[in-house]
């Protein structure tokens, strides 16, 4: 076993953060359509959480936002002329497409990629596969830039292996780490990787939701496991319950979360809960630590309250296997059954014994909680030293990024602002400066208006 720690790399909220209701199946996204957003506040809320976790001794990184509005996508769809004319034409002819090309959704880095630690992979390197996010246009345009940002953050080929996204078709719909978790005793141990999927694409008779789409397929999970060189005996596949997807649970991380030797999930999360438990315990065989299944009954917390509060879209953090902190959004405190449950949970003899609450209202209003905002990467000391140091949170970076946000972000944004060429200029100017702050090289490829 190599000594290792789990790092969290949070997405920095971009300058065009807005509410356009783009994510069919995401209740919060649909419910808050057309509300004004507050990009500066959103970015600062995220930075506050990042800094707080770094201060608690956890490795905390930052992943940069993408260029938005994304002019290359608009040009591919037939809008021509100068960049300003492209925006004006898109706003007039296809405002919904402009809104999609302006989304700041890359801040939810749980969807950025699937990551397998070096202790799990065939070649002893950390493997990254950017998610194709094919189910939503506004997210399907992310994976190329995501791959570039990951490569700039984890650049040493001795330690890091980067794959292309899977083919961009529904059969291989891949939503990244939002449907993936890992179990282990110590982070440096060989772990169990749990892949959760919504449907089997090549089997038309398999169960699937009726109202909302199943965004992630079994075939995508199997492909990522192959690419990463994972051992069959240490991989578990489990199907999300179709009815719970139809209730607004668009990713598994809205209804379940895992860490080390604990799996915290709702009673309605999986199509076959007993099989999921059996498969994990078979893969867990040989570990000295006990494994904890923490199942929340429906009569204690309803699925509706899970979606409203994002109880499970939380972070489970730990410095040792039996001392875990759960990081939840403020909405959990405002949902009585959820808050009562959390208080009972931390008072019990289980592994989760502390709760921390953070205000993430700007992200939550668009359907993303603490778990959506972070990508987990297990790092040995040598791998940690190979990470781009300018992407790791500390006092200096926190101060510098807050100054950067104050200088470049708007206080308030409405959908009509997306057609303003000045917003594009502001965003590009901000990203130009960010590449220097975080030493990202040429991850962005745009021209000035």
Known catalytic residues are 175, 251, 372
DSSP 98-152: HHHHT--GGG-GGGTEEEE-TTTSTTSSEEEEE---TTSHHHHTSHHHHHHHHHH
Secondary structure of 350-394 as H, E, C letters: CCEEEEEEECCHHHHCCCCCCCCCEEEEEEEHHHHHHCCHHHECC
User: ∠ CA(232), CA(234), CA(236), 5° rounding?
Assistant: 85
Q: Which two tokens stand for residue 354?
A: 């502390």
In angstroms, rounded to a whole number, what is the distance separating the alpha carbons of residues 367 and 107?
12
- Write the CA distances from 207 to 198, 202, 291, integer angstroms: 9, 12, 29
Give Cα 337 distance to the centre of its chain. Answer: 26
Secondary structure of 7-74 as H, E, C letters: EEEEECCCCCCCCCCCCCCCHHHHHCCCCCECHHHHHHHHHHHHHHHHHCCCEEEEECCCCCCCHHHH
DSSP 269: S
How many C-beta neighbours within 10 Å does residue 443 have?
21
Contact at 8 Å (CB) between 102 and 366? no
Contact at 8 Å (CB) between 332 and 287? no
Q: Which two tokens stand for residue 183?
A: 């179990």
């Amino acid at each position: 076993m190599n000594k290792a720690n789990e790092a969290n790399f949070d997405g920095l909220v971009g300058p065009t953060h807005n509410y356009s209701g783009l994510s069919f199946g995401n209740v919060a996204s649909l419910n808050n359509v057309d509300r004004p957003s507050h990009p500066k506040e959103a970015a600062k809320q995220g930075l506050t959480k990042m800094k707080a976790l770094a201060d608690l001794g956890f490795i905390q990184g930052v992943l940069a936002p993408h260029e938005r509005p994304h002019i290359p996508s608009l040009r591919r769809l037939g809008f021509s002329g100068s960049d300003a004319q492209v925006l004006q034409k898109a706003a007039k002819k296809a405002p919904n497409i402009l809104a999609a090309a302006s989304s700041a959704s890359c801040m939810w880095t749980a969807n950025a990629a699937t990551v397998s630690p070096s202790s799990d992979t065939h070649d002893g390197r950390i493997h990254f596969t950017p998610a194709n996010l094919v189910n939503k246009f506004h997210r399907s345009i992310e994976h190329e830039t995501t791959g570039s940002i990951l490569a700039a953050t984890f650049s040493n080929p001795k330690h890091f292996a980067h794959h292309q996204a899977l083919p961009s078709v529904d059969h291989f719909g891949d939503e990244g780490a939002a449907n993936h978790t890992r179990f282990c005793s110590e982070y440096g141990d060989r772990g169990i990787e749990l892949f959760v999927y919504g449907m089997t694409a090549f089997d038309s008779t398999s169960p699937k939701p009726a109202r909302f789409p199943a965004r992630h397929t079994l075939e995508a999970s199997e492909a990522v496991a192959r690419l990463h060189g994972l051992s069959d005996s240490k991989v578990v596949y489990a199907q999300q319950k179709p009815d719970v997807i139809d209730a607004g649970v668009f990713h598994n991380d809205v209804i379940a979360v895992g860490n080390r030797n604990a799996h915290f999930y709702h009673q309605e999360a999986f199509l076959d809960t007993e099989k999921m438990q059996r498969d994990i315990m078979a893969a867990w065989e040989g570990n000295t630590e006990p494994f904890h299944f923490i199942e929340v009954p429906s009569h204690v917390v309803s699925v509706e309250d899970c979606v409203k509060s994002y109880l499970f879209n939380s972070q489970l953090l730990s410095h040792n296997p039996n001392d875990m902190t759960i990081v939840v959004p403020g909405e959990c405190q405002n949902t009585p059954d959820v808050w009562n449950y959390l208080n009972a949970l931390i008072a019990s003899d289980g592994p989760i014994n502390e709760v921390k609450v953070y205000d993430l209202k700007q992200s939550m209003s668009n359907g993303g909680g603490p778990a959506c905002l972070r990508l987990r990467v297990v790092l040995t000391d040598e791998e940690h030293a190979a990470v781009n140091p300018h992407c790791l949170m500390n006092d200096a970076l926190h101060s510098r990024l807050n100054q950067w946000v104050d200088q470049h972000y708007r206080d308030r944004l409405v959908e009509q602002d997306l057609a303003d060429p000045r917003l594009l200029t502001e965003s590009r100017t901000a990203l130009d400066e960010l590449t220097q702050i975080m030493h990202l090289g040429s991850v962005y490829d745009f021209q000035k208006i």
